[in-house]
């Protein structure tokens, strides 16, 4: 028997490391204790799997260190010892309804052992490529697959590879963009933490295709575990001859290193990333020349996202056609989403393109937390937009999602319910982009700032007539005037919320009300005399002594003193306080 504890960052944050040590203290010699990466069911962490040989016989969820005894009892023969922590059939569906390609090893193998990756067809694609294919054939296979950049833009991967292949130059670079800065997205981190060799293999195939001798992974510094596991994986791959000089005995040589980013969202833009790699401020370059012609150190360079590379070895082994058989006419294969927010079952979801948002949020994600009303889903982070409930049947496809005003993006999918104010959501994203604007372009630097000021006013109840139109005008001028993707897409959250939730903006501006009852400065509190029992709890909780009344008689709130903190509302046990 083998006990496997899921140890991705999420799992560890949920307590998996403590579970691991609790089991380790009492595990018998006859039983192997090991780890795996992210299983993707974050809502059930910490997760412990029990294997008999290669068969998963029990999956245990929300495991606590105190459950260690039970687990040991189970592996020692007590069949019913872990029944109370076993995953339910309904929760099993979360994975069964997915199609895993980029994530196929995640939560299955031990990411720190190259042997487990190799045993699961690891590095077979590299062997096939180096042994039987020319670089042009590799590019052709990727072209057939229809693989497009998973970082957000959705540009055809083969086209970029081909451009870098064709570029003149004696030294070329292959770069992996693992600067996953989109708040609410964590699939790249999961791939690196859980299946680092798959990334290395995909990158090596890319390097062979374009003729690169050096590969660099630019990882967010906020992902220490990903950096640690990738560092180990690179060392193991070098030792086994998959990396370095004369790989697998061929004339192909490629070295690989990691560069830790230092925290700047704009570095997700490829030319800004290159500047950062060169030790500079991460400010985008003017294109053309494109990185394929003049990139890192002004040499031909190709940059792809982690998830893009994670699909490559599967495509080579199974053929481009098998990949393009999944999806829609203009979006092939699968896409990984990080499903979070007000969702019952949050985690990583990989599904074929062409499924609907409803499939992901309701069928796989189980719907909205506390059975609240679904309001919107934010896709693509600060560059994306909010898609409202009436468009839930939109299919997951670059074009279809683009038509809503949102984007596919890197895969962040943040679900919102009726308690989320869409104006304050737009404000939240603008606050982010205004801070992250590198400052190079006037429209982005000053435009996002002005937009943020307007939004700050609106949520405070100081909105004026004409603010919506002014926001729209600023949006279009930023889109037109910014050099890079950050600026060009920064207005999207504002534009989509105005498009689908204009009434909320109007309510804030004209009536000074927040329909979602989220903007504290627009709320007022009132005590319903009939319901008030005069328990005095609210007046005790009030920090500014705005509530008066005597015991057993109805209390009242002095609105001129009230600071709208909501302490009374939260304290009242009789629902006697109304928030309006």
Partner 1 sequence: MSCCNCKKSDLSLIKDVLDKYADVDGSLITVLQHAQDIYGYLPTDVLYHIAERVGVSPAKVMGVATFYSQFRLQPVGKYLIMLCQGTACHVNGSEKIEKAIFDELGISDGETTQDGLFTLKNVACLGCCSLSPVMMINDETYGSLTPDKAKEILKSLKSKEA
What residues make contact with partner 1 under the rule CB under 8 A? 9-10, 12-14, 42-43, 45, 180-186, 189, 221-223, 259-265, 276-282, 297, 338, 340-342, 346-347, 378, 381, 412, 414-416, 420, 425, 428-429, 432, 438
Q: Do 175 and 301 form a contact (C-beta atoms < 8 A)?
A: yes
Secondary-structure breakdown of the chain: helix, strand, coil percentages, each rounded to the nearest 5: 45, 15, 40
Q: What burial class does residue 101 get, using C-beta atoms within 10 Å of its C-beta: 0-12 exposed, 13-18 middle, 19+ buried?
A: buried
Mark residue 41 as left, alpha or beta (left: phi above 0; alpha: psi -120 to 50; beta: remaining): beta
Minimum distance of partner 1 from residue 97's CB (angstroms): 18
Report the residue number, 215 or 438, with the smaller CB distance to partner 1: 438
Report the residue number, 38 or 72, with the smaller CB distance to partner 1: 38
Report the residue number, 233 or 274, with the smaller CB distance to partner 1: 274
Residue 379 to residue 412: CA distance in whole angstroms: 6
Minimum distance of partner 1 from residue 264's CB (angstroms): 5
Helix, strand or coil for residue 544? coil
Contacts 24+ apart (CB under 8 A), 225-231: 225/8, 225/9, 225/12, 225/193, 226/9, 226/178, 226/189, 226/192, 226/193, 226/196, 227/258, 227/260, 229/37, 229/111, 229/112, 229/192, 229/193, 229/196, 230/192, 230/196, 230/199, 230/200, 230/258, 231/258
Q: Do 459 and 424 form a contact (C-beta atoms < 8 A)?
A: yes
Q: Do 317 and 125 form a contact (C-beta atoms < 8 A)?
A: yes
Minimum distance of partner 1 from residue 382's CB (angstroms): 8
Minimum distance of partner 1 from residue 536's CB (angstroms): 22
Report the residue number, 74 or 186, with the smaller CB distance to partner 1: 186
Residue 339 to residue 190: CA distance in whole angstroms: 13
Q: 216 is written with which tokens?
A: 């660099």
Position of tokens 């800004």? Answer: 272
Local structure of residue 23 (DSSP, 8 states): H
Report the residue number, 215 or 264, with the smaller CB distance to partner 1: 264
Q: Strand pairing partners for 156?
A: 148
Minimum distance of partner 1 from residue 14's CB (angstroms): 6
Minimum distance of partner 1 from residue 579's CB (angstroms): 15
Report the residue number, 73 or 258, with the smaller CB distance to partner 1: 258
Residues 6+ away with beta carbon under 8 Å from 230: 192, 196, 199, 200, 217, 219, 258
* Gyration radius from the chain CA atoms: 26
Q: Do 322 and 296 form a contact (C-beta atoms < 8 A)?
A: no
Minimum distance of partner 1 from residue 256's CB (angstroms): 16
Report the residue number, 148 or 364, with the smaller CB distance to partner 1: 364
Q: What burial class does residue 463 get, using C-beta atoms within 10 Å of its C-beta: 0-12 exposed, 13-18 middle, 19+ buried?
A: buried
Minimum distance of partner 1 from residue 104's CB (angstroms): 21
- What count of Cα atoms within 13 Å lies in the side-chain half-sphere of residue 163? 18
Report the residue number, 43 or 161, with the smaller CB distance to partner 1: 43
Minimum distance of partner 1 from residue 427's CB (angstroms): 10
Minimum distance of partner 1 from residue 55's CB (angstroms): 28
Report the residue number, 146 or 261, with the smaller CB distance to partner 1: 261
Report the residue number, 221 or 317, with the smaller CB distance to partner 1: 221
Minimum distance of partner 1 from residue 347's CB (angstroms): 6
Strands 385-388 and 547-548, sheet pairing: unpaired
Query: Interior CA angle at 499 toward 496 and 503, to 5°?
Result: 120
Residue 118 to residue 14: CA distance in whole angstroms: 30
Report the residue number, 40 or 405, with the smaller CB distance to partner 1: 40
């Amino acid at each position: 028997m083998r006990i496997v504890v899921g140890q991705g960052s999420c799992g560890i944050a949920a307590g998996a490391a403590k579970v691991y040590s609790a089991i380790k203290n009492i595990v018998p010699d006859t039983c192997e204790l090991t780890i795996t990466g992210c299983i993707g069911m974050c809502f059930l962490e910490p997760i412990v799997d029990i294997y008999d040989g290669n068969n998963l016989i029990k999956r245990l969820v929300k495991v606590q260190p105190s459950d260690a005894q039970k687990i040991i009892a189970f592996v020692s023969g007590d069949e019913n010892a872990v029944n109370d922590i076993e995953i339910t059939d309904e929760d099993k569906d979360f994975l069964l309804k997915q199609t895993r390609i980029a994530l196929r090893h995640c939560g299955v193998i031990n990411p720190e052992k190259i042997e487990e990756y190799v045993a699961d067809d690891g590095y077979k694609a590299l062997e096939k490529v180096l042994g039987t294919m020319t670089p042009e054939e590799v590019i052709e296979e990727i072209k057939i697959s229809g693989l497009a950049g998973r970082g957000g833009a959705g540009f055809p991967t083969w086209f970029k590879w081909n451009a870098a292949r064709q570029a003149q130059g004696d030294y070329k670079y292959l770069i992996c963009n693992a600067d996953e800065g989109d708040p609410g997205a964590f699939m790249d981190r999961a791939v690196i933490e859980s299946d680092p060799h798959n990334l290395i293999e995909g990158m090596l195939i890319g390097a062979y295709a374009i003729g690169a001798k050096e590969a660099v992974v630019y990882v967010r510094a906020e992902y220490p575990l990903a950096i640690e596991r990738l560092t180990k994986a690179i060392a193991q791959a070098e030792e086994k001859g998959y990396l370095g000089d004369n790989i697998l005995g061929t004339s192909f040589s490629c070295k690989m290193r990691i560069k830790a980013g230092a925290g700047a969202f704009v570095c997700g833009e490829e030319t800004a990333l290159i500047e950062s790699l060169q030790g500079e401020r991460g400010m985008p370059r003017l294109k053309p020349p494109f990185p394929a012609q003049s990139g890192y150190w002004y040499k031909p360079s190709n940059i792809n996202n982690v998830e893009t590379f994670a699909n490559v070895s599967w495509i080579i082994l199974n053929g481009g056609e098998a990949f393009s058989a999944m999806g829609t006419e203009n979006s092939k294969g699968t896409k990984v989403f990080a499903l979070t927010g007000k969702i019952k079952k949050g985690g990583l979801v990989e599904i074929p393109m062409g499924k609907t948002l409803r499939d992901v949020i309701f069928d796989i994600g189980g719907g909205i937390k506390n059975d609240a009303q679904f309001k919107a889903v934010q896709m693509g982070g600060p560059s994306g937009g909010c898609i409202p409930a009436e468009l839930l049947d939109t299919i997951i496809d670059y074009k279809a999602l683009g038509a809503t005003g949102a984007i596919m993006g890197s895969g962040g999918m943040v679900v919102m319910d009726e308690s989320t104010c869409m104006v304050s959501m737009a404000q939240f994203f603008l606050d982010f982009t205004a801070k992250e604007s590198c400052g190079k372009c006037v429209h982005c630097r000053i435009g996002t700032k002005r937009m943020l000021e307007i939004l700050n006013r609106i949520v405070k109840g100081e909105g004026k007539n004409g603010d919506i139109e002014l926001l729209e005008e600023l949006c279009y001028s930023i889109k037109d005037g910014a050099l890079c993707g950050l600026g060009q897409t920064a207005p999207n959250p504002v534009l989509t919320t105005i498009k689908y939730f204009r009434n909320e903006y109007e309510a804030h501006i004209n009536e000074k009300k927040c329909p979602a009852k989220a903007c504290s400065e627009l709320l007022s509190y009132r005590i319903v005399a009939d319901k008030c029992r005069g328990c005095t709890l609210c007046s005790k909780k009030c920090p500014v002594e705005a509530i008066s009344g005597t015991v057993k008689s109805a209390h009242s709130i002095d609105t001129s003193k009230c600071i709208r903190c909501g302490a009374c509302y939260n304290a009242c046990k009789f629902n006697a306080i109304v928030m309006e």
